[in-house]
Amino acid sequence: MNIFWQDINYKIRSGSKLYLLIAINVVVFLLINIPAVFEGLFFRTGYISSYTYEYLALPSYLPKLATRFWTPVTYMFMHAGIFHILFNMLWLYWMGQIFEEFLGKKRTVGLYLLGGLWGAALYVISYNIFPAFAESNLTSSAIGASAAVMAVIVAAATIAPDYTISLMFIGPVRLKWLVLAYVVIDFLSITGPNAGGEIAHLGGALFGFVYVKQLQNGKDWIGSIANLFKFKTKPKLKVVSNNKDKNTANMPRQEEIDRILDKISKTGYENLSANEKEILFRASKK
């Protein structure tokens, strides 16, 4: 247990923003649900849950959304139950680590927020243009970090598609196939009972994919958000530089990076040596 907390402390000090996001989600969940439990036990009412859902969940009905204009942000930090927040935070932790290994720790918060906003936008637009949702539009609302988390998941799979993970009862699976299956399931479920949630997932997934592709083309959409958190991001994702100053010698060679990426595609990231991980990390910072 002591080793576990040492590992947590080390990762927090390393600058990872995953723990900040997870902590905010957990604190919000507890602040709402602990008083709600006592309210139910002593008064047998549900005002706390009702009012927080009314004013923090994302409504699809446009006139109501206009009076709850903050909900596209607040909805992505709310959850419907223990298992809802548990699985979202586990996915965020697992896939967020992969994302940060390849692209550093400065873009995580921006990716989460913009992924959640894209999910909110697709949910609201879909419920107001598709006839299938006409009847439910007046009362429909969305909560959960799933869209934001999907942005992180898909971004990780886009930047490292051949990253191999081991699944119980299945064995080694490349990240691109796991995430593709997840996205297909979401798409096939958009006419089901949780249509709004599945649509929001797809919006977050779309942002994660487009963002990484744009970043690879030298366009960093998250730079402005990172600046709000006093980060400094570089506008282009490169692993080599023509700069001849004294720092050039510290940058890994392109051939070495290609060799490491080939090794990842064949044996998985977990089989890299500590030195190879450090080389990849320095390349991602550049």
pLDDT at residue number 16? 83
171's tokens: 């064995």
Higher pLDDT pick, 258 / 243: 258
pLDDT at residue number 30? 97
pLDDT digits (tens, 9 = 90+) for 154-185: 999 999 999 988 888 788 899 999 999 999 99
Higher pLDDT pick, 250 / 55: 55
Name the average pLDDT for the chain.
84
Helix (H, G, I), strand (E, B) or coil at 262: helix
For the segment 209-215, the average pLDDT, to the nearest whole number, is: 93
For the segment 219-235, the average pLDDT, to the nearest whole number, is: 60
pLDDT-based confidence at residue 106 (cuts at 50, 70, 90): confident
pLDDT at residue number 111? 96
Helix (H) or strand (E) run with residue 8 in it:
helix 2-13
Please report, as a single letter, which amino acid is at residue 100: E
To the question of pTM greater than 0.85 for the whole model, the response is: no
264's tokens: 């990842």
pLDDT at residue number 208? 96
Does the pLDDT of residue 286 top 50, yes or no? yes
**33-42, 93-102, 219-228: least confidently modelled range:** 219-228
pLDDT digits (tens, 9 = 90+) for 118-152: 999 999 999 999 999 999 999 999 999 999 999 99
End-to-end CA distance of the chain: 36
Cα 1 to Cα 167: distance, rounded to the nearest angstrom = 24
pLDDT at residue number 226? 56
pLDDT at residue number 14? 61
Higher pLDDT pick, 59 / 232: 59
| Total Cβ atoms within 10 A of residue 157 | 27
Cα 124 to Cα 153: distance, rounded to the nearest angstrom = 22
**Contact residues for 13 (Cβ-Cβ < 8 A; gap 6+):** none
pLDDT at residue number 243? 46
Domain ranges of the chain: 2-236, 238-286
Cα 116 to Cα 102: distance, rounded to the nearest angstrom = 21
Higher pLDDT pick, 65 / 277: 65
pLDDT-based confidence at residue 105 (cuts at 50, 70, 90): confident
Looking at the DSSP bridge assignments, the partners of residue 204 are none
pLDDT at residue number 213? 93
Return the CATH superfamily for domain 2-236: Rhomboid-like (1.20.1540.10)
174's tokens: 């490349």
Does the pLDDT of residue 234 top 60, yes or no? no
